[in-house]
């Protein structure tokens, strides 16, 4: 038996209600690692071009990373992958919590679905027994209600991943949730799951992957955790953590970035999580304001953003929590008596920005309520918030009226109307039906030039980070196989947690921040490493906290003897195949354009980005040349495909 992997995956045919265990050659794992690396290979090879992502022929699956299920720090992530019904491109969504490791405990490196069930069903894998079971009693329930029902039936130790009402309603901005609201949110894969009448996965296993050098592996884990462990942070460190959200104006004035020493970043993330950026990013120009049409320091200044700051949120915190094997624990459970919420998740930065700054909404109670609604319905908060912003601007400009909105007065900062609109979107009720598939489709239906208010990339609403703050994000937003995403790979954005300080031997060109050609190369190197990082199941935040035994853990787990060049080549292979999938589906990604507001076209006349316009199309051509892709049409060169052992894809382009 191979070390570090099981060497088998589970195929579930929902039409015939049959199962097949498939053994995979070791070389497949060595070429693709796990996670969406393995997903790209399996889905590309097993689907025809131009298929319907919501049809029974569509394949999607759950893919834990190579390190997921072990004690490797930050390795608790998994990927859901398939064709995105939202963009028509390659689709993937990253999830955390405790579900990914349970897939491994069930003895599989992946679980894939095809076909369509005649009626609502769920998949159960309980200590080796695989079943498709009737889901009629949980269909229509939110993800927390459904999980509680399943625990009554299968025991309290099960792990679940499910769609909520949004996925059941085939909302193209729906996701898949576990751990009472940890959502694999992007790409609309909740709609794919809903289209197959699949409500939930219920897992409970007790398997363990055999390691090549178990003692060595555990020593690396202990050494890393010991190095990063801290006791009580002390009075001054606690004071500093409280001060950080209040430094927004100072950071803007001096042009200070979001990076910091690994120890400090660990303390900040453990104590306040990603919401630390709520005030900082709004003030410095990183956060979109007023549907990308405003400027934080003028339209949503610190006097307002402080009302949704990390410090205000912390007043409701009951305890920290984190994903499986995470030593930082950046999540938290809150209690909000004002809303009758005994237990609810800390809203992440992206959620606070999408429903706060971007809507000029400083009502913290509304953010808590919306976060709970979206978690329970398993709907993407980035896309939902951006869609609400689109609707408000359409209302403001007369493309929607009170009759259209069912009486809701959609104005900036009107938190009561915003909450009600979110409920309508989740349930496809009234105007919610118009908006439930995101801004691109809503704009097509409304017409009347409403398209200019739809802030999306190929149909996916763009994340809550400004490319004028991180210029190479524009490349990622426009041209990554999963467009509109800040989690793909951007050399400027990942510089917050620099990879060259994370993995020994990884080096970026020394002058990449000033020399254009060297920046193209730096973007390629960052992209390739990021694909491998994602595919082994590590959290993207792991690079924030200093040196990590990345290769050491992989090799002591598997015995493969990989070096940094192998990791880069593997990442290059994964990204090229993700890209090839998108091109194979007929998406001419090279012609994609971002809304002018995002890239400073025309540029702001004042504020942090005064006079700034991002020339992302030129950057893409330089990046393509480094990746071995044709810069005119994005096609991977035949030689590149052959060099990366992707000969099976050559026929799709040559």
In tens, the pLDDT along 253-305 reads: 656 566 667 777 888 888 888 998 999 899 999 999 999 999 999 999 999 99
- Would you list the DSSP string of 127-183? TTEEEEEE-TTTTTS-HHHHHHHHHHHH-TT-EEEE--HHHHTT-TTB-EEETTTEE
Residue 31 shares a structural domain with residue 145: yes
Dihedral Cα 400, 401, 407, 412, nearest 10 deg: 70
Any domain includes 462: no
CATH number for position 75: 3.60.9.10
The mean pLDDT value for 162-178 works out to 98
CATH number for position 344: 1.10.569.10
Residue 39 shares a structural domain with residue 155: yes
Residue 505 shares a structural domain with residue 404: no
Is the CB of residue 365 less than 8 Å from the CB of residue 339?
A: yes
Any domain includes 61: yes
Query: What are the Cα distances from residue 374, in Å, to 144, 180, 508, 635?
Result: 12, 11, 39, 38
Nearest to 174 by CA among 93, 63, 65, 288: 93
Number of compact structural domains in the chain? 3
C-alpha–C-alpha distance, residues 523 and 512, integer Å: 9
Q: Report the interhelical angle of 234-243 vs 262-272 (nearest 10°).
A: 70
Nearest to 35 by CA among 100, 98, 85, 123: 100
Any domain includes 121: yes
Percent of the chain with pLDDT over 70: 95
pLDDT at 247 over 90: no
Query: What are the Cα distances from residue 71, in Å, to 46, 76, 216, 262, 421?
Result: 32, 9, 12, 20, 42
**Which of the listed residues 186, 204, 222 is the one where a domain comes to its end?**
204
Name the DSSP letter for residue 374. Answer: H
Any domain includes 327: yes
Parallel, antiparallel, or unpaired: how do β-strands 111-114 and 8-13 relate?
Answer: parallel
Residue 83 shares a structural domain with residue 170: yes
In tens, the pLDDT along 331-383 reads: 999 999 999 999 999 999 999 999 999 999 999 999 999 999 999 999 999 99
In tens, the pLDDT along 508-520 reads: 999 999 999 999 9
**Radius of gyration of the chain measured on its C-alpha atoms:** 23
Nearest to 557 by CA among 99, 208, 226: 208
pLDDT at 649 over 70: yes
The mean pLDDT value for 228-252 works out to 63
Compute the half-sphere exposure of residue 95: CA atoms within 13 Å on the CB side of its CA. Answer: 36
Any domain includes 214: no
Strands (E), 282-400: 317-321, 331-336, 341-345
Strands (E), 24-167: 60-64, 78-83, 90-95, 111-114, 121-126, 129-134, 159-162
Residue by residue, what is the 3-state secondary structure of 536-574?
CCCCHHHHHHCCCCHHHHHHHHHCCCCCHHHHHHHHHHH
What does the angle CA 46 – CA 48 – CA 50 come to, to the nearest 5 degrees?
140
**Which of the listed residues 165, 188, 204 is the one where a domain comes to its end?**
204
C-alpha–C-alpha distance, residues 500 and 457, integer Å: 30
Residue 484 shares a structural domain with residue 621: yes
C-alpha–C-alpha distance, residues 561 and 556, integer Å: 8
- Phi, psi (rounded to 5 degrees) for 128: 95, -15
C-alpha–C-alpha distance, residues 441 and 461, integer Å: 11
230: confidence class by pLDDT, cuts 50, 70, 90? low
Cβ neighbours, 10 Å, residue 156: 8
Residue 388 shares a structural domain with residue 532: no
The mean pLDDT value for 127-147 works out to 97
Place of tokens 């082994």: 536
The mean pLDDT value for 29-35 works out to 97
Number of H helices, E strands in the chain: 29, 17
C-alpha–C-alpha distance, residues 209 and 508, integer Å: 34
Nearest to 376 by CA among 643, 93, 180, 516: 180
Is the CB of residue 610 less than 8 Å from the CB of residue 119?
A: no
In tens, the pLDDT along 62-98 reads: 999 999 999 999 999 999 999 999 999 999 999 999 9
Residue 392 shares a structural domain with residue 276: yes
Compute the half-sphere exposure of residue 173: CA atoms within 13 Å on the CB side of its CA. Answer: 34
Is the CB of residue 189 less than 8 Å from the CB of residue 152?
A: no
Using CB atoms within 10 A of its CB, is residue 529 exposed (0-12), middle (13-18) or buried (19+)?
Answer: buried
Joined tokens for residue 332:
């938290």
Residue 499 shares a structural domain with residue 432: no
Q: Report the interhelical angle of 516-535 vs 35-46 (nearest 10°).
A: 90
Nearest to 567 by CA among 608, 529, 540: 529
Place of tokens 């192998």: 566
Any domain includes 200: yes
Is the CB of residue 80 less than 8 Å from the CB of residue 93?
A: yes
Looking at residue 289, what is its pLDDT? 98
C-alpha–C-alpha distance, residues 649 and 370, integer Å: 43
What does the angle CA 270 – CA 271 – CA 272 come to, to the nearest 5 degrees?
105
Is the CB of residue 487 less than 8 Å from the CB of residue 542?
A: no
C-alpha–C-alpha distance, residues 137 and 341, integer Å: 25
Residue 130 shares a structural domain with residue 168: yes
- Residue 272 gets the label, from left (phi > 0), alpha (psi -120 to 50) or beta, of alpha
Name the DSSP letter for residue 346. Answer: P
Residue 147 shares a structural domain with residue 244: no
Cβ neighbours, 10 Å, residue 342: 11
C-alpha–C-alpha distance, residues 94 and 97, integer Å: 11
Question: 256-266: string of b/e by CB count within 10 Å (b at 16+)?
Answer: eebebebebbb
534: confidence class by pLDDT, cuts 50, 70, 90? very high
Residue 169 shares a structural domain with residue 278: no
Any domain includes 51: yes
Question: Average pLDDT of the chain?
Answer: 95
What is the pTM (predicted TM-score) of this model? 0.96
Percent of the chain with pLDDT over 90: 90
C-alpha–C-alpha distance, residues 159 and 126, integer Å: 10
Residue 426 shares a structural domain with residue 500: no
Joined tokens for residue 491:
């050399």
The mean pLDDT value for 184-192 works out to 98
The mean pLDDT value for 146-168 works out to 98
C-alpha–C-alpha distance, residues 296 and 290, integer Å: 9
End-to-end CA distance of the chain: 38
Any domain includes 74: yes
CATH number for position 478: 1.10.599.10
Nearest to 598 by CA among 456, 417, 416, 458: 456
**Which of the listed residues 423, 454, 485 is the one where a domain comes to its end?**
454
Cβ neighbours, 10 Å, residue 108: 23
The mean pLDDT value for 5-11 works out to 97
Residues of the domain holding 22: 8-204
């Amino acid at each position: 038996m191979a070390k570090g992997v099981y060497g088998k995956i589970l195929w579930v045919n929902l039409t015939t209600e049959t199962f097949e265990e498939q053994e995979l050659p070791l070389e497949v794992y060595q070429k693709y690692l796990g996670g969406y690396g393995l997903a790209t290979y399996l889905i590309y090879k097993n689907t025809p071009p131009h298929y319907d992502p919501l049809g029974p022929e569509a394949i999607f699956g759950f893919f834990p990373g190579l390190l997921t299920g072990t004690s490797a720090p930050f390795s608790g992530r998994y990927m859901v992958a398939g064709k995105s019904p939202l963009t028509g491109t390659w689709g993937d969504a990253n999830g955390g919590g405790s579900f990914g490791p349970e897939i491994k405990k069930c003895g599989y490196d992946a679980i894939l679905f095809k076909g369509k069930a005649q009626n609502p069903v769920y998949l159960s894998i309980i200590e080796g027994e695989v079943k498709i079971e009737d889901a009629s009693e949980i269909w229509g329930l939110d993800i927390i209600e459904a999980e509680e029902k399943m625990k009554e039936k299968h025991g309290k130790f099960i792990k679940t991943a499910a769609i909520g009402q949004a996925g059941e309603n085939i909302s193209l901005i729906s996701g898949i949730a576990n751990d009472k609201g940890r959502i694999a949110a992007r790409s609309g894969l909740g709609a794919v799951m809903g289209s197959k009448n699949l409500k939930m996965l219920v897992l409970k296993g007790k398997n363990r992957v055999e390691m090549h050098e178990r003692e060595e592996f555990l020593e690396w884990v202990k050494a890393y955790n010991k190095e990063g462990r801290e006791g009580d942070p002390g009075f001054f460190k606690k004071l500093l953590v409280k001060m950080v959200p209040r430094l927004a104006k100072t950071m803007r004035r001096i042009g200070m970035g979001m990076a910091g020493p690994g120890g400090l970043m660990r303390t900040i993330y453990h104590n306040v999580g990603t919401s630390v950026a709520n005030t900082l990013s709004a003030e410095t120009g990183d956060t979109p304001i007023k549907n990308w049409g405003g400027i934080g320091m003028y339209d949503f200044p610190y006097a307002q953003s402080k009302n949704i700051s990390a410090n205000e949120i912390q007043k409701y915190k009951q305890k920290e929590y984190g994903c499986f094997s995470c030593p930082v624990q950046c999540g938290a459970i809150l209690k909000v008596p004002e809303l009758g919420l005994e237990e609810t998740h800390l809203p992440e930065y992206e959620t606070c920005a999408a429903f706060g700054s971007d809507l000029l909404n400083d009502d913290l109670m509304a953010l808590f309520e919306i976060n709970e609604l979206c978690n329970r319905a398993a709907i993407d908060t980035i896309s939902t918030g951006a869609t609400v912003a689109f609707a408000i601007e359409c209302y403001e400009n007369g493309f929607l009226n009170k009759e259209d909105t069912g009486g809701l007065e959609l104005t900036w900062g009107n938190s009561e109307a915003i909450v009600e609109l979110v409920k309508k979107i989740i349930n496809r009720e009234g105007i919610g039906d118009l908006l439930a598939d995101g801004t691109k489709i809503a704009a097509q239906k409304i017409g009347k030039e409403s398209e200019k208010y739809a802030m999306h990339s190929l149909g996916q609403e763009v994340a809550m980070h400004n490319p004028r703050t991180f210029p190479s994000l524009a490349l990622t937003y426009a041209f990554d196989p999963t467009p509109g995403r800040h989690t793909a790979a951007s050399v400027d954005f990942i510089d917050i947690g620099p990879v060259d300080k994370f993995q020994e031997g990884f080096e970026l060109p020394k002058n990449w921040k000033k020399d254009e050609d060297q920046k193209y190369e730096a973007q390629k190197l960052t992209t390739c490493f990021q694909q491998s990082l994602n595919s082994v199941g590590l959290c993207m935040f792991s690079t924030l906290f200093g040196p990590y035994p990345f290769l050491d853990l992989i090799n002591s787990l598997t015995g493969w003897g990989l070096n940094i060049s192998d990791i880069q080549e593997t990442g290059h292979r994964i990204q090229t195949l993700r890209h090839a999938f998108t091109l194979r589906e007929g998406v001419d990604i090279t012609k994609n354009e971002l809304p002018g507001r995002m890239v400073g076209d025309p540029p702001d006349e004042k504020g942090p980005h005064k006079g700034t316009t991002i020339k992302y199309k030129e950057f893409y051509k330089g990046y393509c040349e480094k990746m071995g892709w044709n810069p005119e049409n994005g096609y991977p060169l035949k030689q590149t495909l052959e060099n990366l052992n992707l000969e099976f894809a050559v026929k799709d382009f040559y």
